[in-house]
Amino acid sequence: MKNFLQRWLPHPHNGSHAEQLRACLGAIFGILLTGLLGHFLLAGDGAGIYLVAPMGASAVLVFCLPASPLAQPWSVIGGNVLSGLMGVACAHWLGTGVPVAALATCLAIAAMFLLRCLHPPGGAVALTAVMGGAAVHAAGAGFALPVLIDSAILVCSAVAYNRLSGRRYPHAQSAPANARASADAPPTGRLGFTPADMDAVLRQYPQVLDVSRDQLETLFLQTEMHAYGRRFGVIRCADIMSKDVLSAEFGTELGEAWRILRGHGIRALPVLNRARRVIGIVTQGDFLKHGGLDDYRGMRHKLHRFLRRSGVSHTEKPEVVGQIMRHHPHTATLATPIVELVPLMANAGFHHIPVVDAEGRLAGMVTQSDLMAALYESRLGDGIALAA
């Protein structure tokens, strides 16, 4: 009996207290603004209806679940207005009553599916249009106007509040095929699943998901990263990085930077400002790219010409490292677990990742060789422990 009852109880949600407070304050802001502006725009012309009850349900979605596909602007505005029109049509042609309300809700859901604006409060809007009483019935098709205005004001307030409180809204529901992964979603490719794998599974999933595709992908990727950490242990960048790192400055001449790279047998130089904070990175590939060395014929001559100073004050030819470096390079901190670098180096093409301290100053560099050696040693240590 106890297990049976437990199955009916809700699971604890993961929202922090700060997130709960953020959502609650957003609802106050959104409904208050919607009600005040709705009254200003609608009550003066004798419409009588200026704040429809289902807006409370819409507020739950746009402020508590701003990433949900059901909470996006087109879903809110299109779903509510379309459902209102369905309810008004049913009440006009069939009258009122529970059977008519059920039909209006059914037709509203079908229309929202058809126009890709599924929004749960839309069912309540359709129900209100049928069962809302004399004021709603007297408004007739005009009932859609307060629904439209209220929905638009609520969406605008949600855009402003979510962005001010650090939440992305509107939330893109699908990532471009060629988009680079964000910092909180490591790139996929040779490791783990790919975006194409996820798309294939989602196409086979027959139910409506109340979570955006990119959120789902991020959760899977973070789960994968957690599994890497459990498998390889927590080894941090500070444990494996090279500490004696050669670097360049923005104004370092190209010839000098090239001599450092070739003379020490390295392939990348972090570029620092006077406070020793990383502002860029320059690699041998950058020299080849900007020097027009894709064509190997005459490479030596082209390279000498590229590295040689022009001797004039104004020239389009790059003269210093700052003109060919990659700005805002991906960096890691001393405490960053090395498993977070695995997908970056395996899939995203990063071969060298500067490591910075708590003040953002260069502390070292992690290369693919450092990472491979650390992972090998960790697995070797596990094998020795098992053998013992």
pLDDT digits (tens, 9 = 90+) for 296-345: 555 566 556 666 776 655 666 788 899 999 998 999 999 998 878 877 88
Whether residue 380 has pLDDT greater than 70: no
Query: What amino acid is encoded at 130 in this protein?
Result: V
Do strands 352-356 and 332-333 pair parallel, antiparallel, or not at all (unpaired)? parallel
Percent with pLDDT over 90 in the chain: 50
Highest mean pLDDT of the ranges 14-28, 80-94, 166-180, 261-275 = 80-94
Average pLDDT, integer, range 261-274: 91
Tell the residue number behind the tokens 């989602």, with chain if given.
Answer: 202
Alpha carbon distance 29, 65 (integer Å): 16
In this prediction, residue 26 carries a pLDDT of: 96
Mean pLDDT is lowest, of 7-11, 75-79, 196-200, 245-249, for: 7-11
In this prediction, residue 185 carries a pLDDT of: 45
Alpha carbon distance 85, 111 (integer Å): 10
Kindly list the distances between the CA atom of residue 235 and the CA atoms of 51, 85, 228, 335, 366, in Å, as whole numbers in the listed order. Answer: 56, 60, 11, 9, 12
Query: What amino acid is encoded at 260 in this protein?
Result: I
Whether residue 382 has pLDDT greater than 50: yes
Average pLDDT, integer, range 216-234: 72
In this prediction, residue 303 carries a pLDDT of: 59
Average pLDDT, integer, range 84-88: 97
Query: Is 24:56 a contact under the CB 8 Å cutoff?
Result: no
In this prediction, residue 316 carries a pLDDT of: 66
Query: Is 143:42 a contact under the CB 8 Å cutoff?
Result: no
In this prediction, residue 379 carries a pLDDT of: 58
CB burial readout 264-297, b (16+ within 10 A) else e: eebebbbbbeeebebbbbbbeebbbebbebeeee
Average pLDDT, integer, range 107-114: 97
Which one has a higher pLDDT value, 341 or 382?
341
Alpha carbon distance 162, 23 (integer Å): 9
Nearest one of 350, 337, 313, 324 to 226, comparing CA atoms: 337
